[in-house]
Amino acid sequence: MVEYSRITDSLQKIYGDSGAQAALEKLQPVIEKFSAERRRKKAGESQGYFSEKDEVLITYGDSLKTEGEAPVQSLYRFATARLQKLFSAIHILPFFPFSSDDGFSVIDFLEVNPELGIWQDIERLGERFELMFDLVLNHISARSAWVGEYLAGEPEFAGLAIEVDPATDLSRVTRPRSLPLLKEFRKASGESVHLWTTFSADQVDINYGSPDILARMVEVLLFYVGKGAKIIRLDAIAYLWKEIGTNCIHLPQTHEMVRLFRAILDQLAPEVIIITETNVPHGENVSYFGDGRNEAQMVYNFTLPPLLLYTFINEDASLLTDWADKYLKLESPDTTFFNFTASHDGIGVRPLEGILAQAEIEKLAELARENGGDVSYKRNPDGSESPYELNITYVDAMKPQNSAAYDSLHARRFVASQTIKHVLPGVPVVYIHSLLGSANWTEGVKLTGRARTINREKLNLDNVIAELQSPRSFRAQVFNSYSRLISIRREQKAFHPNAGFRVLRSALPHVFAVAREGFGQTLFSLTNVSSRSMKVSLEALGIPRGLKDILSGGRIVEHSLVLEPYRTAWLS
């Protein structure tokens, strides 16, 4: 039997007492139908949400393609052959019919894009891996049937979109992109309306002020759970609720909506994890943990990708050390970080606000351009623009300065950056193009005219396999080193997301050092972020002698350790 107290409490905070009752009447049939169809699971309650064996792969449904085969089938074939010992879960980026934004302008939330495969293909992958789905809940394609019904005047969709008088002062609204906020549409009645479109003219923002629309989106959420989603990514959640006269980001109603989704899942599918996608400074980002039990179980560690890049560019781990020591604290065993360096998007630099001076952020932007990438900008309330993200693969961002690209040094430097990601508190996440050592796809940018395409190449699976079978190829060097790193990490209890975490401060700014302790193991990690060999005093760091480096297999008998350029030691 479903307990509605938390659900009702959230509805009251969102809609007020009178509106809450109307919203509950819309939601109840959706919830009860799902409850009757599915037996509750207890995994989230009994064993905890996380494990040291957790490792998530991010990929598009067609990142790997084979002639004459559905792309999701190609992904299944590659994943089952080469990735089962590496990854516990696969995040397939939006695989629904779409009209733009590489899947994030969804035409139909409930169907699989026929160019990728069918639901059976997705579910088969779910038999071997846990699955992570996107709930693209801030907006819907302007070409969707829902928008068509709204424009046609169908009563059930009357509240779908947010209509705004174009004369309204919207200058306070936080803008993630330098595009117009409103787009003009014409209804079947002939009436012209301007609709809220945060991300593009093709992405109509959904109005959660309508209980009818809320019920439809909850139905989508539960449909995904029924199809095997273990992790639900709330895409662009920060912008969900709009209130004219505010900045329309992180509003109280937005947080309450996350609590509502969590309350529903806790009742119907308590093992399912919510992750919020909020590319903002750290304090705003972790606010989506709520009280540790009532909002998201995971948040993206958005500060990590640009700060880690800055660390290697400057060959100085001081800032990374200070940040990790101050901010990577987890107050609840039910929450953790989603640690990534690359994703389908670029390297967001907004999270560096308050950490780096604007001039230093501009230097990162210039580096991206020098290494064959580009920079996307956001519009500020005063009308100025500032860098929003670096559009470049993390592999190319990590090119060694004054050295050849795509050689063994480049591979080692890149993998060293990924090693640091794997020692921090949280669940490690790997984008498929990082795992495969992919370079900038500049030809793709020319084809689409979009900067983000640089990191979204569609690879021929046969060609990838051939490169991986050639040990000297750059792709093989990265894949083999990365795979070994993951394999070893997944066997260390000290890397459990709930294990203790301490930053070790070295006299050498070129070394990033931490200790992980818990579940019967203590492990010390030291990474040289520089292009020079470093002699590290273990005694100064409080690390005892006689430990084994589980990466190299050697035992440490001295009070010091020499780390070659871009080398890591895991001492346990």
Distances, alpha carbon 336 to alpha carbons 49, 214, 333, in Å:
9, 28, 8
Contact status, residue 418 vs residue 341, Cβ threshold 8 Å? yes
Three-state secondary structure of 82-139? HCCCCCCEEEECCCCCEEEHHHCEECCCCCCCCCCCCHHHHHHHHCCCEEEEEECCCE
Distances, alpha carbon 483 to alpha carbons 417, 476, 494, 518, in Å:
14, 10, 19, 24
φ, ψ of residue 102 in degrees (nearest 5) = 50, 45
Q: Which of 557, 425, 395 is nearest to 494 (CA)?
A: 425
Checking DSSP bridges between strand 229-234 and strand 273-276, what pairing results, if any? parallel
Distance from first CA to last CA of the chain, Å, rounded? 48
Which tokens sit at 278?
A: 């909020």
Q: Which residues lie closer than 8 Å to 487 by C-beta, 6 or more apart?
A: 85, 86
Task: Give the Cβ contact number of residue 190 at 10 Å.
Answer: 6
Three-state secondary structure of 280-296? CCHHHHHHHHCCCCCCC
Coil, helix or strand at residue 453: helix
Half-sphere exposure of 451 (CA within 13 A, CB side): 17
Q: Compute the distance between CA of residue 412 and CA of residue 147 in angstroms, rounded to an integer.
A: 49
Q: Compute the distance between CA of residue 541 and CA of residue 518 in angstroms, rounded to an integer.
A: 19
Residue recorded with tokens 């640009």? 306
Q: Which residues lie closer than 8 Å to 47 by C-beta, 6 or more apart?
A: none
Catalytic residues: 235
Which tokens sit at 548?
A: 């084994």
Distances, alpha carbon 24 to alpha carbons 164, 263, 456, in Å:
27, 13, 41
Which tokens sit at 346?
A: 């670029």
Which tokens sit at 253?
A: 């109603």
C-alpha 112, offset from chain centre: 21
Q: Compute the distance between CA of residue 88 and CA of residue 107 in angstroms, rounded to an integer.
A: 30
